[in-house]
Amino acid sequence: MFQEAVILFLLAIANGAPQNKNRNLLINPIVGAYPCKGYANMYTEFEPGLPPDEENSYKVVIDDELPLYSQVKLKFDSEATVILSNETVTKARVHAFNDDSEVLFNIQFFKDAKQAKFRVKGPPSGTIPYFTSVDINSVEYCKEPITGTFDNYILGSKGTAHVSLSVPDKGCGRRKVTHTELIVNGVPTKHGDWPWHGAIYRLDSSTLQYICGGTLISKSFVLTAAHCTTINGVAVLPEVLSIIFGKYNLIGGDTDTQERKIHEIIVHAEYNHRRLHNDISLLKLKSEATFDDYVQPACIWHDNAHKNLPIDSIYGAVVGWGFDHTDKLSTELRQTMLPMISEANCIKSNPSFFGRLLTEQKFCAGYRNGTSACNGDSGGGFMVFVPDIIGDKSANATGSWFVRGIVSFAASRNDASICDNTQYTIFIDVDKYSEWIKSHMS
């Protein structure tokens, strides 16, 4: 019995249909899978390449005898719709049950049937629901459900494609001082570990207040979140902002720091401050930063950077003075390593929140165990280390740090306007804005 997806590639010529010369009719490949380990009489079929509003669905066949009065009870891990096939709807009817904790369906047969066929479709958010229980006449057949089988085939809306032929500049994203060999969750950094991370301050009623982080990407430009540089969606005056590089202690005591005033604030023209869409901005410095041991630029994410990553899963470092376990700003720069999370798993973790706010210009990252970015980390980078040698995972690997995302927002706790560190964090996907960044830097 197969437990993993089986891809059946089909190439056919439609019989009797008019054909162009030397042209065949291509049919999308069908992906088949068994959704429940140990139960071979139930299988699913998924067709990749369908339009975005149709692709989060799949066909299901239960190839078992289903006598009169049989009941098939189904549970899913997220919002779902069950649609009986024309053949099955003449022998059975399906009911849905409103239960906040589970997605429940019951197919009741009023005629004998040799099999059941139906389609499972997910919500408009694009996630795919997977079985967590299949109960046929009071016998559980899905004690070990297999989930996530079709997630990688979801394409969504893609209106832009880009091919990069150049190799990133090896002068960026490299530390000049001995660095921390291993990043673990929520630990202090060392001075010089993150020479591209800057602290953004805003003048408020004659008081200079720390508000956000930012990433130095050249001698003159800093990348940050739009909500860090605006009030109610409108950019603040450049003279009320400043940024300090090479900073380690949030409150004094640093040496080798560089403070720069802001010449221009460039906010994305389609920034939506209510939903934090296009939450990205550039700060142009009044005077250039000086590169030294404690101030260096990060690399901007590059298409070719994927090639050298050692594993499929992408982990990024997030640094900042954001709220710690005491719900206060950290006095020292801290760092944590977070994994990127698939869109499907992110939305399923909190559909009412992420289903509304996650777009293809954003991505999720983090854990749900108390380790996350939080208030005060906004605007900082999601930094991915790309080794010089493909697949090099050694502790002393050489390479460059690329800014892959920007800390944007997270769900807040019920009892306070503070991040809920049991939820994932949403980042702006820098890869989707590389052309925007380059156009404003040129």
Long-range Cβ pairs for the range 269-276 (8 Å, 24+): 271/226, 271/230, 271/233, 272/233, 273/226, 273/227, 273/230, 273/232, 273/233, 274/233, 275/356, 275/357, 276/226, 276/227, 276/357, 276/408, 276/409, 276/426
Catalytic residue among 77, 279, 429, 431: 279
Catalytic residue among 378, 408, 429, 431: 378
Catalytic residue among 70, 78, 220, 227: 227
CB 57 within 8 A of CB 119: yes
Residue 279 known to be catalytic: yes
* Tokens coding 253: 């005591």
Question: Quick check: helix, strand or coil at residue 137?
Answer: coil
User: According to the 3-state scheme, what is the secondary structure of 147-203?
Assistant: CCCCHHHCCCCCCCCCCCCCCCCCCCCCCCCCCCCCCCCCEECCCCCCCCEEEEEEE
Q: What is the rounded CA–CA span in Å between residue 311 and residue 30?
A: 27
Residue 378 known to be catalytic: yes
Measured from the Cβ of residue 267, the count of other Cβ atoms closer than 10 Å reads: 21
Q: What is the rounded CA–CA span in Å between residue 171 and residue 137?
A: 66
Measured from the Cβ of residue 132, the count of other Cβ atoms closer than 10 Å reads: 17
Question: Quick check: helix, strand or coil at residue 318?
Answer: strand
Q: What amino acid positions are annotated as catalytic residues?
A: 227, 279, 378
